Structure 1
Amino acid sequence: MEFDYAKDNLEKQPYDHYIKAFAESDPLEIANRCQIEFNEETREFKLRLMGKEYYISHPDFKIRKVDESDNSYHVMFEFYKAEILALRFMLEGKKIESTGEFVTFRDTPEGNMYFKSFQGRCLFRLKYGFGFKLDKFKAAMEKMGATPMKMGDVAYKFEILDDFNVFILWEGDDEFEPSSQILFSDNFPVAFKSEDLVVSGDISITNLKGVASQL
């Protein structure tokens, strides 16, 4: 899907920069560093994002679904920041195994610097998007294939990119105003900058709302 960046040149400039850098990159180096599959015959990477698998061609960065018959919500085709996150991961990220522990956004390098942005784009957006609609929240999480966790009132773990996980803990009921916490698997800060974690949370909530809209 082609996104129209003309309305926001601030987004188009970094996107164009990443596209150019991707075209000039070494695909085998990317595959090794990020530990993702690259088919040298088709010149395509295979990347999983929000539970959906995609083929991404090199050097032209054309994206297609692995399962063409899957007509469910695909955030990669609906939200341009998903493309940017994929580009940044392949250009600057590194695959590191998680220990299974999770960290808060504030615990990441520069987390305090970007916390206001994270709070507005992720925590508040999650709260206002689902508020007291815990049933819809749970249904969307189940549809995404998220794993329920026994913490708080509602908690789920799900994967954003290959083996990079997010944990959403929700507390609240019909009487008390709900609050949420978004945690990241401890390999995130090694592979991504704090600003990328804001984008990851943004993508997660956009995907959650997109899935919920189809229920």
Structure 2
Amino acid sequence: MDPGYRKDSKEMLPYEYYLKLYQETDPYDILKRTDIVYDTMTASFRLHMMGVTYQITYPDFNVRHIDGEKIGWYPLEGKANARILVLRYLNEGVRAPASGKFLTYREIPWGEVYYKQFNGRCISRLAFGFGNKLEKFEEIMNKIGAVKLKAGDVSYEFEFIDDLKLRMILWEGDEEFPPSAQILFSDNFPIAFHQGEDMAVVGDVAIDMLKALDK
């Protein structure tokens, strides 16, 4: 499937770089590290992402969703940031169980250094995008099968990629205070993704999903 990159796109070079690494990696090494199902008959992986199951072929990285019709949004079929993020996970990631603890962005490696950028890209975007639209936020979270929590004015936990979970917490704005938000990562994220930038892209992709389904 055409990922939609122009030759002058800033995503083109990293996409080509990580695609080449993917094509040079033994699929059984990917399976061993990530425990993502690999079907030898179709030469494809099966990955779950935000309520949708994708089939990802090896070595050409063709992607198609095989369920999730009720959701209707499939970032791995065309979103540059999501495709590069998943390629990085397949190339480098390690699957590990979570302990049940959740981390703020500041608590992940290098998170303190990049927190200002993450706050603008993700936390503020979540707060001002949905802090005064709590019912719509709940509707979207229910659509992807998220679990409702008791934190904040409204909060949910959902699986981003297999066993990697996010929590999004919103506090509604009023006449005196603007809306606010928090995004938490299950503590196996730093094992799966080794750079703070990856977790920022996770936030970007998740909020892109909210925006896409806010119709």
TM-score above 0.5, yes or no:
yes
The alpha-carbon deviation at position 65 of structure 1 amounts to 1.5
Distance 1:8 1:125 in 2: 27
- Structure 1 stretches of 4+ moved >3 Å: 68-71, 173-176
Equivalent in the alignment of 2:101? 101
2:179 maps to what in 1?
Answer: 178
- Residue deviations 1:126-147 (CA, integer Å, cap 9, x gap): 1222231111111111112111
- Distance in 1, matches of 2:67 and 2:139, equals 23
C-alpha distance in 2 between matches for 1:68 and 1:191: 24
Secondary structure of 2:169's match? strand
Matched pairs, number? 213
Aligned-residue CA RMSD (Å) = 1.7
Between 49-58 and 73-82, the greater mean CA deviation after superposition: 73-82
- Report the identity percentage: 43
Give me the whole-angstrom Cα distance separating, in 1, the residues matched to 2:59 and 2:48: 19
Determine the C-alpha separation between the residues in 1 that align with 2:69 and 2:148. Answer: 27
Counterpart for residue 32 of structure 1: 32
Separation of aligned partners in 2, 1:46 and 1:55: 5
Q: Distance in 2 between matches of 1:131 and 1:6?
A: 35
**Counterpart in the other structure of 2:87:** 87
Displacement of 1:119 after TM fit?
Answer: 1.1
Judged with a 3 Å threshold, the aligned counterparts in structure 2 of structure 1 residues 154 and 7 are, in CA distance, closer, same or farther, namely farther
Distance 1:68 1:173 in 2: 32
In structure 2, C-alpha distance between the alignment counterparts of 1:134 and 1:70, rounded to whole Å = 21
Name the CA distance, whole Å, in 1 between partners of 2:142 and 2:75. Answer: 16
Q: Which one is further off, 66-75 or 13-22?
A: 66-75
Aligned to 1:201: 203
Change (3 A) 1:78 1:141: farther
Q: Could you list the per-position Cα deviations for residues 26-83 of structure 1 after superposition, in whole angstroms to 9, with x for gaps in the alignment?
A: 0001011001100112100000111100110000000111238667122222422111
**Structure 2 equivalent of residue 190 of structure 1:** 191
Cross-structure match for 1:54:
54
In the TM superposition, 1:11-22 aligns within 5 A as 11-22=11-22
- Which structure 2 residues correspond to residues 64-143 of structure 1 after superposition, within 5 A? 64-67=64-67, 72-143=72-143
